[in-house]
Amino acid sequence: MNPSYPSYPSSRPRRLRRTPALRRLATQVRLHPADLILPLFVREGATDPVPVGSMPGVVQHTPETLRKAATEAVQAGVGGLMLFGVPASRDATGSGGIDPNGVLNVALRTLRSELGDATVLMSDLCLDEFTDHGHCGLLAADGSVDNDATLLRYAEMAVAQAAAGADVVGPSGMMDGQVGAIRAALDGAGHTDVAVLAYSAKYASAFYGPFREAVESSLCGDRMSYQQDPARSVDEALREVALDLAEGADLVMVKPAMSYLDVVRRVADAVDVPVAAYQVSGEYAMVEAAAARGWIDRDRVITETLTSVRRAGADVVLTYWATEVARRLSPR
């Protein structure tokens, strides 16, 4: 140390930043294709893929393009696929979700036969895509969402999805007791091996806006009476997670991701099952919109967002960029 400058530091974090090789060695959070799950939309009766305006690069698939996109994702090494259906018609009780010939169940069967066990097939287990009122549950006479009547419907839906080939069902409706009801129904129908990815801590978020275009949601109003209030403390999320685990959840999810990294961290510290985080449609749209204007470096921002979600403790990330990022990570 230079004696005339006693304040020169001996501890220098910059030593490990000097060269790309040093930085690579010092990396502690690494993205891997298998940690990424690709959400996919399939539209009943579509003959051409329909672009989702607020999600540039994302489409509502036809059965044929769904198969292609799924195969490409699997070839790129992504860890799994999460399927959402866009039905041609809707009704008050969301019967399309239970119908074995409903768009989502047909897509599950198609991909199961196409892909075998090469990937993890997951299905969104919720009524909002199938109801004409757009809520995630059945409505009571007064227009409120009827929790316990909805559970019966979710139970039927779980069995239909399992029968169609889902490895994992993803209840995203935030009804109390949904995981327990689904687990019991799956077990009762002999689907003991089908896992439940619980959307445990799902917030009533404005970041879902573009998704609602993607599924052509007919929702008026909001989901504040069942999804979590962003203004509650993280303790409420931990309570939701604990309930879901007690009811038999195999994996738990926090959603959205980027504005809820504190929740991701606390959940990851609290549980011993894999933790998922959903980088939702609005997070995707913001980055794409800013990048299209040349305001941010798109690829670097994508990597940075995914890295921060993993650094916060998520084991897996649902992201609409899954295939692209997986390819970038393992160039071939």
In the bound state with ligand PBG, the residue whose beta carbon lies nearer, of 147 and 172, is 172
Q: 208, 191 in Cβ contact below 8 A?
A: no
Closest residue to ligand PBG, judged by C-beta, is 211
Closest contact distance (angstroms) between CB of 162 and ligand PBG is 18
In the bound state with ligand PBG, the residue whose beta carbon lies nearer, of 22 and 152, is 152
Interface with ligand PBG, residue 154, by CB under 6 A? no
Count of beta carbons in the 10 Å neighbourhood of residue 24 = 9
Closest contact distance (angstroms) between CB of 25 and ligand PBG is 35
In the bound state with ligand PBG, the residue whose beta carbon lies nearer, of 228 and 281, is 281
Smallest CA-to-CA distance from 39 within 203, 257, 201 is with 257
Number of residues that bind ligand PBG (CB under 6 A): 10
Q: What's the CA gap between 244 and 262, in Å, rounded? A: 19
Smallest CA-to-CA distance from 209 within 48, 50, 53 is with 53
Q: Near ligand PBG by CB under 6 A, which window of 7-15, 41-49, 88-96, 123-131?
A: 123-131
Q: What's the CA gap between 108 and 189, in Å, rounded? A: 18
Quick one: CA dihedral 63, 194, 115, 72, positive or negative? positive
Catalytic residues: 202, 255
In the bound state with ligand PBG, the residue whose beta carbon lies nearer, of 191 and 223, is 223
- Residue among 35, 44, 128, 240 that touches ligand PBG (CB under 6 A): 128
In degrees and rounded to multiples of 5, residue 81 shows phi and psi of -125, 140
Q: What's the distance, Cα to Cα, between the start and end of the chain in Å?
A: 49
Closest contact distance (angstroms) between CB of 114 and ligand PBG is 24
Interface with ligand PBG, residue 280, by CB under 6 A? yes
Closest contact distance (angstroms) between CB of 128 and ligand PBG is 5
Bridging pattern class, strands 59-61 and 50-51:
antiparallel
Interface with ligand PBG, residue 251, by CB under 6 A? no
In the bound state with ligand PBG, the residue whose beta carbon lies nearer, of 14 and 290, is 290
Closest contact distance (angstroms) between CB of 221 and ligand PBG is 11
Give the position of tokens 């292609």. Answer: 68
Task: Find all residues with CB under 8 Å of 121, minimum gap 6, and list them.
Answer: 80, 81, 83, 108, 111, 112, 115, 165, 166, 167, 168
Q: Near ligand PBG by CB under 6 A, which window of 43-51, 100-108, 122-130, 141-149?
A: 122-130
Containing 64, the helix (H) or strand (E) segment is helix 63-76
Scan residues 185-214 and list those touching ligand PBG (CB under 6 A): 208, 211
In the bound state with ligand PBG, the residue whose beta carbon lies nearer, of 124 and 288, is 124
Binding interface with ligand PBG (CB under 6 A): 124, 126, 128, 136, 172, 208, 211, 223, 280-281
